[in-house]
Structure 1
Amino acid sequence: MKSSPVLALVGNPNAGKSSLFNQLTGLRQKTGNFPGVTVDKKSGTWPMDAHTSATVVDLPGVYSIYPKSLDEQLVTDILANPAHPDYPDVAVVVVDASNLHRNLLLFTQVADLGVPTVLALNMLDVARQEGKEVNSVRLAMRLGVPVVRINARTGEGIDQIKKAVLGQIEEPTLPGKLFFDPADEVEGLIVDTKAQYQLDNNYLALQYLIQHDGFSFLNQQQRVGLDALIEKHQFSEPTFQANETITRYKRIAVVVAEAVTNQRPANQPTWSQKLDRVLLHPIWGYAIFAFILLLIFQAIFAWAQPFMDAIDTGVAWLNGQLKDNLPPGPLTDLLTDGILAGIGGILVFIPQIAFLFFLIALLEESGYMSRVMVIMDRIMRKFGLNGRSVVPLISGVACAVPAIMATRSIGTRRDRLITILVTPLMSCSARLPIYTILIALVVPSRRVLGLFNLQGLALMGLYLLGLVSALLAAYVLKLVLRTKERGFFIMELPTFKLPRWNHVGLTVWESVRAFVWEAGRVILAISIILWVLASYGPGDALERVETQVRQQNPALADDELQNRIASERLEASYAGHFGHFIEPVIRPLGYDWKIGIALLSSFAAREVFVGTMATIYSIGDGGDDADTTVRERLRQERNPATGGPMYTPALAWSLLVFYVFAMMCMSTLAATRRETKSWVWPMVQLAYMMVLAYVSAFATYQLLT
């Protein structure tokens, strides 16, 4: 027995495969790409005994081994190729015991490929609620493989899984005969294929014939040879595949009838089905979803505000303490006005990010998010998107990069490309700091009807604006990118269940950690660069400015004089020169050179905008009031042309609209380049979003001024 056998987890979507993966591997997990393809790979180590640790690979969820998308193709590509580094010594097929008839289709196909298999019966509690009892012993006898009863949510049955897997590794057992033998119908073709390609499995030979164009491990000569065999025997692939599925389901029905007893009347709906009548209703379903969204955005402001105020005040206090206790000089200025001011501009938004992901995790864990995808599918199709586009678009609320990678589940090339191009219009978590700080400046924290906070309504409006713009952009792209391909949306609706709080907590922790770590590294680098550019200037320009200000304002009080000097020095610095260079382009939007600096720096990552503004205004403030918060610094900023507040409602809403549409994320462009394998589409994405952002922000500012 190998010291590190490969164990593949295979199953339908929502069968509990990923939950079992977490139970087996715990914290011994890693992510990456499968060899040769850019499809996400989750793998981990499972210590089985003192001498054996298995490598567990969580394969993408599929309904059968006949793929309809890139990630589904990967499953067959691995199971049909023993030379693949992830080819399993044992495949654990995880099935939903409450829907055994459908789940066993994939199991029979995997077993027929000759892979040693263990069947894991999951969701037995759900089956029991529906009045179904599964006799696992009788099922094992009928299928000819080990059958284990598990609960992937709680870890029940893990020891039995271990025993079954070790048994299959030491002495592999396969069903006595194929569940479907293609040689019964096309014996000559199967015999010729096996002989020509040195195969010893009839069903694997059939997959060579049907799927050879998609198999990455076959070369062009081998594909041509298989095409010749198909033509020689007049083999009809679609007809044969349809007959295979019908035959399998007939045999599965016999097995299920013997192993499952159903005590619930056929016409009695489950409580999940009763809820779905309301949640999937063509009217009430959308109304409930809108109400839930409204509650989420209200909660983001109401629950997070005390924590945000505490962090904001704490960072400002620390900044003041450092300035008071450290010796004056460039290093102290770098630490307080550069690094701490920039990082503090991000830390203050941790509570809102945490609450956002906490509430989204609750929706996912309960099973409601799958219902959202189903009802949104009705809208998606009117705008030319595949129903599977719902998943990346909803994921885009967290981050556009993994959302773009999630488009691999979309079968048609056009639908996948359109989804990639419009997904960044969904407001991601990186925009949340910008939204909340600008909304707090110009929208009063006042309740409407005693329940809804105006700031929460404004935040929800920005997210809805992103969604509507994504749909309209998709409709335009549908008219441009014409094709005859048709996409299909198939989704298994899981039963409603109580959230697993450890999973919710892990989701929140990972999301916040990724946000802080990824944003923090970029902000730290940009804050240092920005501080240098804002603290130094060409030649002796800064010294001359300071002398000039002192000579022209001899009667000013010391605090006012220091503020005036700091402001003039900032304008004369390298950053000030750069800001003035681009100011003519952004002036029609209401922005000055300081905002221009923040716009450019945020191309690295959108959330850098707030940190940059905090750094700019810290350097531009020469007073002793070092404990002023980021929000107060923005509120106190004056417009030199009018003498009034800089951040008027017109300017703030112009900035908000700009960031709803702007493509200001290098990582997103890189993800688009990787998924489309071309620089053309990232440039198209960048161009149309930046034009849309500029025109919309211009119109907003001019209308509100």
Structure 2
Amino acid sequence: MTKKLNIALVGNPNSGKSSLFNVLTGLNQKVGNFPGVTVDKKTGTSTIAPGFDANIIDLPGTYSLYPKRADEWVAYKVLLNQDELVKPDMIVLVADASNLKRNLLFCSQIIDLKVPVVVALTMMDLAKSKGTQIDIPGLERELGVTIVAVNPRKNKGIPQLKKAIELAAEKLQQAAPRDFIDMTAIAGEPIAGLKKIFPAVSNYRAVHFLINHENFELDAATQVAIEQVEKDHKFNPTKTQAEEIMQRYGRIKHIMQQTVVESDPLQKSLFTERLDNILMHRYWGYIILLAVLFLLFQSVFWVAQYPMDGIEWVFGKLGGFLGSSLPDTWWSDLLINGVIAGLSGILVFIPQIMILFGLITLLEDTGYMARISFLTDKLMRKVGLNGKSVMPMISGFACAVPAIMSARNIENKKERLLTIMVTPLMSCSARLPVYTILIALIIPSKLYFGFLSLQGLVMMGLYLLGTVMALIVAWVLKWFIKTTERSFFILELPVYRGPRWKNALTTMIEKAKIFVFDAGKVIMVISLLLWALSTYGPKAKMHAVTTTYNEQAAANEQLKENIIKEKTAALTTAAISDTARLTAKYDSLIAKNDEQGSLIEKERKTALLQSSYAGSLGGFIEPAIRPLGYDWKIGIALITSFAAREVFVGTMATLYSVGDDADENNTTLRQKMSAAVRPNGSKVYDLATGLSLLVFYVLAMQCMSTLAVVKRETRSWKWPVIQLFYMTGLAYFLSWLVYEIAK
């Protein structure tokens, strides 16, 4: 019979906890929310030994058992057994060997909870590079718990850690028999009073019941009893906490002297410090940051160009082959112009999405992302935010939904709300397909100095536009959102590390799968719906169009027959010397007649499309968007984009494919959009319209999922409604302004 235990994985931020979680659980992971709160819960299963599986719960990182933020409260309640649904049987505590003194504070608090604990000591290689030597057996004796050195990035020490977990689970390794510090010497009488209510709790756990019982799910009678204990013994939470921390650090200092040898920090300048002097320089740091972002967006175009061209070519050939091979029926039209067109609109952007996420993962892995927060804190404060707002905003380049959720780490309510309100202005990956196709249409593929791509520069400009507008909007909103809370910015900088290419590759594959199966499902459904709306329409209207153009086609065909008859008669009676001249004359007339027939057929298809349900909807909204330079097809795309921005491409693929001839199926979507003209003969996607559309997609709120998560995070419809109106209004005004200037 397989045994299964719940193991809580805890540790300080940046201690290697997430890496260890990934190694232990592999792909057997789930992400959700802790019950009742919007804080991420990562869980996964791991086989510790034959017949022994563990449910690993990755708790949010925290520095001590005195919580301040929402995510720290989540970890705290789980560790104090105050979460009804998450009950750990044992704890694996991840400690950073290169910052052992700081990590031992949290470790000592966990030990005093009297729960079976195994310590996973990470960053041993970094500690060694600092000249730090740790006597692990001696440290085990001092702490009274099992300690295993691990390196999750290189998969070292994992079997030994699993063995230690197995021994702890079999009760061969009990909870620490002695307290790390004597809590009875600090608050003996209050602890004794509390133990009359909860006899089984440890001394240290009793102190936490006295300090934070108001935040625990206890019945009213128990709450009153605890309050009475505090009152009877004049319990002072602040004094108790301060004395506890001082005693813990006093004992930690003694343990460090006995078990750790550290080199003189003045004798060795660390690589991280030297690199920070350059990357976080008050002037050069910003220039380097812009250069990094520039290379990021240049790479998206450089590297992705060839696979994108290949995917477009394959779908173009496939559409042409099916168009010439299949019979002219409704189901073949659905397959080619609905399914194939929709799939091409999804798959063609996978290379860019994979490259973007891969590069962002490498930046996070190396430790540079945290430096960006420090670099930008001064600027953030001027607009009402702080450095912690940068991480959600940068995450917004990937997706606004998790980015908004990550704003929970911002303690100040005003700064958190401002961050939530402006994060959707950051250009998420859903906008990338729209940017790509529009930039390819209106911006020439030029290189400056042999390596600077004009299209890449425009792409970077769009991302900077969204960022600048986010800062401006935050500055405006800070005058309307009032608070008396003071703001502090404390963030630990992780050490620089080499990138994990396997991790980046895994992320790229996962993000591509999410795009294909999540966004792709929406795109496909809307593509098929649009095919139906574009193919069918009101019977009377469609019949009138069909009748009119059938009559024109019949008249043109009759004219062609008459020309052929005249040609035959003329050649019959003509002299031999006139045969070549007459043949050329009548062939020219027939060719013109064929051109007229093709024109009539194209006009018929256009008229049928405009008379369809989709055309009627586009015609209804066209007056409102005409000042921006948009036609009815773009109008339909704007509407469907509210489901997801990337649906714009699928919408265009369907609208420009309905009614195609077999030979037209060979052309790519970009070619079809480039050839599109207005009734007056001018190009639909000229520079003015293209720039206007790009600006609209940078600024508009076109994501129902984002609005839903803003409502959930703010617990009110007020803020998502304000967000929808201010972003849409801003997008409309600036798009109109750009169009008027550019035309």
Aligned equivalents of 1:624, 1:450: Cα separation in 2: 37
- Aligned-residue Cα RMSD (Å) equals 1.9
Partner of 2:391: 391
Q: Secondary structure at the match of 1:257?
A: helix
1:234-281 deviation per Cα after TM superposition (whole angstroms, max 9, x unaligned): 444334323322322222111112111123543522111100111111
Aligned equivalents of 2:518, 2:464: Cα separation in 1: 26
Name the amino acid aligned to 1:406.
S
**Residue range with higher mean Cα deviation, 81-90 or 456-465:** 81-90
Q: Secondary structure at the match of 2:153?
A: coil
Partner of 1:206: 207
Are the counterparts in 1 of residues 418 and 474 from structure 2 also a CA contact under 8 Å? yes
1:650 aligns with 2:651: no
Partner of 2:568: none
Partner of 2:644: 605
Could you tell me how far 1:658 is from its partner in structure 2? 0.6
Structure 1 residues 544 and 483, CA, compared in 2 at 3 Å: closer, same or farther?
same
Structure 1 residues 297 and 263, CA, compared in 2 at 3 Å: closer, same or farther?
same
Q: Secondary structure at the match of 1:196?
A: coil
1:83-134 deviation per Cα after TM superposition (whole angstroms, max 9, x unaligned): 7442222211111101100111111111111221111111100100111111
Name the amino acid aligned to 1:632.
Q
Normalised to the residue count of structure 2, the TM-score between the two structures is 0.91
Partner of 1:81: 81
Q: Secondary structure at the match of 1:479?
A: coil
**Residue range with higher mean Cα deviation, 11-20 or 233-242:** 233-242
Aligned equivalents of 1:220, 1:407: Cα separation in 2: 34
Name the amino acid aligned to 2:718.
V
Name the amino acid aligned to 1:207.
H
Aligned equivalents of 2:218, 2:741: Cα separation in 1: 61
**Residue range with higher mean Cα deviation, 380-389 or 325-334:** 380-389
Match of 1:580 among 614, 619, 622: 619
Partner of 1:674: 712
Could you tell me how far 1:73 is from its partner in structure 2? 0.7
Are the counterparts in 1 of residues 427 and 698 from structure 2 also a CA contact under 8 Å? yes
Are the counterparts in 1 of residues 324 and 662 from structure 2 also a CA contact under 8 Å? no
Could you tell me how far 1:197 is from its partner in structure 2? 4.3
Match of 2:697 among 659, 663, 669: 659
Q: Secondary structure at the match of 2:178?
A: coil
Match of 1:693 among 711, 718, 731: 731
Choose 1 or 2 for highest CA Rg: 2
Aligned equivalents of 1:229, 1:635: Cα separation in 2: 78
Could you tell me how far 1:581 is from its partner in structure 2? 0.8
Could you tell me how far 1:210 is from its partner in structure 2? 2.2
Are the counterparts in 2 of residues 637 and 647 from structure 1 also a CA contact under 8 Å? yes
Partner of 1:594: 633
Q: Secondary structure at the match of 2:322?
A: helix
Query: Mapping of 1:175-190 within 5 angstroms?
Result: 175-190=176-191
Q: Secondary structure at the match of 1:244?
A: helix
Name the amino acid aligned to 1:196.
I
Partner of 2:55: 55
Aligned equivalents of 2:147, 2:228: Cα separation in 1: 41
Query: Mapping of 1:24-173 within 5 angstroms?
Result: 24-81=24-81, 84-171=84-171, 172-173=173-174
Partner of 2:525: 525
Q: Secondary structure at the match of 1:327?
A: coil
Aligned equivalents of 2:683, 2:450: Cα separation in 1: 30
Aligned equivalents of 1:245, 1:82: Cα separation in 2: 23
1:293 aligns with 2:331: no
Could you tell me how far 1:412 is from its partner in structure 2? 2.5
Partner of 2:446: 446
Could you tell me how far 1:178 is from its partner in structure 2? 2.3
Could you tell me how far 1:452 is from its partner in structure 2? 1.5
Are the counterparts in 1 of residues 77 and 83 from structure 2 also a CA contact under 8 Å? no
Aligned equivalents of 1:320, 1:454: Cα separation in 2: 32
Name the amino acid aligned to 2:438.
L
Name the amino acid aligned to 1:389.
S
Are the counterparts in 2 of residues 366 and 499 from structure 1 also a CA contact under 8 Å? yes
Name the amino acid aligned to 1:268.
K
Partner of 1:570: 609
Name the amino acid aligned to 2:243.
N
Aligned equivalents of 1:683, 1:224: Cα separation in 2: 43
Structure 1 residues 230 and 639, CA, compared in 2 at 3 Å: closer, same or farther?
farther
Name the amino acid aligned to 1:653.
L
Are the counterparts in 2 of residues 312 and 629 from structure 1 also a CA contact under 8 Å? yes
Aligned equivalents of 2:238, 2:270: Cα separation in 1: 36
Are the counterparts in 2 of residues 565 and 622 from structure 1 also a CA contact under 8 Å? no
Aligned equivalents of 1:454, 1:394: Cα separation in 2: 24
Q: How many residues align?
A: 703
Aligned equivalents of 1:94, 1:196: Cα separation in 2: 33
Q: Secondary structure at the match of 1:480?
A: coil
Aligned equivalents of 2:411, 2:73: Cα separation in 1: 10
**Residue range with higher mean Cα deviation, 170-179 or 229-238:** 229-238
Structure 2: gaps (5+ residues):
557-592
Partner of 2:572: none
Aligned equivalents of 1:223, 1:458: Cα separation in 2: 61
Aligned equivalents of 1:170, 1:49: Cα separation in 2: 12
Could you tell me how far 1:198 is from its partner in structure 2? 4.5
Structure 1 residues 209 and 387, CA, compared in 2 at 3 Å: closer, same or farther?
farther
Are the counterparts in 2 of residues 389 and 416 from structure 1 also a CA contact under 8 Å? yes
Q: Secondary structure at the match of 1:343?
A: helix
**Residue range with higher mean Cα deviation, 555-564 or 51-60:** 555-564
Structure 1 residues 584 and 265, CA, compared in 2 at 3 Å: closer, same or farther?
closer
Structure 1 residues 620 and 486, CA, compared in 2 at 3 Å: closer, same or farther?
farther
Partner of 1:468: 468
Aligned equivalents of 1:572, 1:225: Cα separation in 2: 76
Query: Mapping of 1:615-630 within 5 angstroms?
Result: 615-619=654-658, 621-622=660-661, 624-630=663-669
Normalised to the residue count of structure 1, the TM-score between the two structures is 0.96
Partner of 2:584: none
Could you tell me how far 1:550 is from its partner in structure 2? 4.2
Could you tell me how far 1:343 is from its partner in structure 2? 2.1
Aligned equivalents of 2:341, 2:71: Cα separation in 1: 43
Structure 1 residues 478 and 620, CA, compared in 2 at 3 Å: closer, same or farther?
farther
Could you tell me how far 1:448 is from its partner in structure 2? 2.6
1:315 aligns with 2:319: no
**Residue range with higher mean Cα deviation, 491-500 or 570-579:** 491-500
Structure 1 residues 574 and 268, CA, compared in 2 at 3 Å: closer, same or farther?
same
Structure 1 residues 389 and 615, CA, compared in 2 at 3 Å: closer, same or farther?
same
Q: Secondary structure at the match of 1:94?
A: strand
1:48-74 deviation per Cα after TM superposition (whole angstroms, max 9, x unaligned): 222211111111111112222111110
Could you tell me how far 1:537 is from its partner in structure 2? 0.8
Structure 1 residues 83 and 581, CA, compared in 2 at 3 Å: closer, same or farther?
closer
Query: Mapping of 1:325-474 within 5 angstroms?
Result: 325-474=325-474
Could you tell me how far 1:325 is from its partner in structure 2? 1.2
Aligned equivalents of 1:392, 1:232: Cα separation in 2: 47
Could you tell me how far 1:432 is from its partner in structure 2? 0.4
Partner of 2:492: 492
Name the amino acid aligned to 1:507.
T
Q: Secondary structure at the match of 2:522?
A: helix
Q: Percent identity?
A: 48
Name the amino acid aligned to 1:661.
L
Aligned equivalents of 2:81, 2:422: Cα separation in 1: 36
Aligned equivalents of 1:355, 1:458: Cα separation in 2: 18
Partner of 1:283: 283
**Residue range with higher mean Cα deviation, 612-621 or 659-668:** 612-621
Partner of 1:250: 250
Aligned equivalents of 1:477, 1:107: Cα separation in 2: 42
Are the counterparts in 1 of residues 28 and 45 from structure 2 also a CA contact under 8 Å? yes
